């Protein structure tokens, strides 16, 4: 039997930074999101399965993914061993019943880690039985200069990952058409980060519809191909005041609902 249930739309806890995970769960429920993606960060709640399960139960939300602490600013979190971070994220995902762990590829200075990265991801995905969605990334640019920051490379189409997290803002920063990327990846895409961009060298993560990317077309493609994963809003609101942030994330949810054909789902209309 084919699953015809709506594609879940979740809110990343990174979308409310510098607010904490508890605020994210509360806001996600108030706005009508289906769940939360937890970015493991210095907020201790993001590292503790019991606290996360309590929040999910309190707000009647799913935890769709755990984002491992593989960002540049999280290098010291959970120690220095990158495989140790991924394994702890997998353990956390298993405890909270998240279907995916999101990871970035290694930085270029992590050469030992990078050399066995593709194989190591495959081994751990098989061992834990949880999808490890490797994100598409981008060169670091300054003006006309670009530096290859990730090994074995930023484009998951070049490597045999079984599972990929497609990030629209990252694609724009890399100069890649996100719809082409989605088509090329096919059913290897297990998770999507929805956020817009004008394609600048900054990783913008704008409210979808406020940039120039084909966000609507990517969502339509997911519906047409019967995508079985989660769409997570990953939108930058760090410089916004509380009311502005909440309006932006309500608008983001309404955009996703509209272009996923979920016109009667919670949050499909801003203020509705």
- What is the DSSP-derived secondary structure letter of residue 56? H
Decide: 234 and 5 in contact? Cβ < 8 Å: no
Looking at residue 1, its pLDDT comes to 34
Report pLDDT for 3. 52
Q: Is residue 185 part of a domain?
A: yes
d(CA 126, CA 120): 10
**In 104-167, which ranges are continuous DSSP H helix?**
111-115, 117-128
Q: Is residue 181 situated within a structural domain?
A: yes
| Integer CA distances (angstroms), 242 to 42, 60, 63, 111, in order | 21, 23, 23, 41
CATH number for the domain harbouring residue 44: 3.20.20.150
Task: Single out the residue of 10, 43, 15 nearest to residue 240, CA to CA.
Answer: 15
Instruction: Give the model confidence (pLDDT) of 189-198 as tens digits.
Output: 999 999 999 9
> Does residue 14 contact residue 21 with C-beta atoms inside 8 Å?
no
Q: What angle do CA 43, 46, 49 make, to 5 degrees?
A: 140
Per-residue confidence band for 143, with pLDDT thresholds at 50, 70 and 90: low
Q: What is the pLDDT of residue 2?
A: 42
Report pLDDT for 144.
Answer: 60
Number of domains in the chain: 1
Domain assignment present for 271: no
The Cα 132–Cα 104 span in angstroms is 10
Instruction: Return d(Cα 250, Cα 234) in angstroms, integer.
Output: 13
Whether 182 is covered by a domain: the verdict is: yes
pLDDT over threshold 70, residue 53: yes
Residue 266 lies in a domain: no
Return the higher-pLDDT residue of 3 and 98.
98
Q: Which tokens in the block code for residue 134? A: 């490797």
Handedness of CA 52, 93, 202, 227 (dihedral sign): negative
In a domain, 1, yes or no: no
Would residue 268 count as lying in a domain?
no
Confidence class for position 142, pLDDT limits 50, 70, 90: low
**Coil, helix or strand at residue 83:** helix
Cα–Cα–Cα angle for 157, 170, 36, rounded to 5 degrees: 105
Domain that residue 101 falls in: 9-259
Question: Model confidence over 16-47: pLDDT tens digits?
Answer: 999 999 999 999 999 999 999 999 999 999 99
Q: Give which of 179, 208, 245 is closest to 9, Cα–Cα.
A: 208
Angle at the Cα of 210 (from 205 to 211), degrees rounded to 5?
Answer: 65
């Amino acid at each position: 039997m084919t699953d015809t249930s709506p594609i879940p739309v979740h809110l990343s806890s990174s979308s409310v930074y510098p607010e904490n995970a508890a605020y994210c769960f509360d806001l996600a429920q108030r706005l009508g999101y289906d769940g939360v993606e937890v970015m493991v960060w210095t907020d201790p709640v993001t590292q503790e399965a019991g606290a996360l399960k309590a929040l999910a139960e309190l707000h009647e939300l799913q935890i769709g993914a755990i984002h491992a602490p593989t960002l540049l600013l999280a290098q010291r979190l959970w120690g220095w061993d990158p495989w140790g971070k991924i394994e702890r994220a997998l353990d956390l995902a298993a405890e909270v019943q998240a279907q995916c762990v999101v990871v970035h590829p290694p930085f270029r200075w992590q050469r030992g880690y990078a050399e066995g990265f593709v194989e190591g991801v495959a081994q751990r995905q098989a061992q834990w039985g949880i999808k490890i969605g490797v994100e598409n990334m981008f060169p670091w640019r300054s003006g006309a200069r670009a530096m290859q920051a990730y090994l074995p490379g930023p484009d998951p189409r070049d490597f045999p990952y079984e599972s990929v997290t497609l990030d629209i803002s990252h694609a724009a920063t890399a100069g890649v058409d996100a719809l082409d990327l989605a088509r090329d990846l096919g059913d290897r895409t297990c998770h999507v980060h929805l956020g817009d961009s004008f394609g600048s060298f900054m990783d913008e993560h704008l409210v979808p519809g406020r940039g120039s990317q084909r966000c609507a077309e990517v969502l339509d493609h997911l519906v047409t191909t019967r995508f079985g994963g989660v769409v997570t809003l990953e939108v930058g609101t760090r410089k916004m005041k509380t009311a502005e942030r909440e309006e932006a994330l309500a608008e983001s949810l309404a955009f996703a609902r509209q272009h996923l054909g979920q016109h009667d789902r919670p949050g499909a209309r801003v203020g509705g």
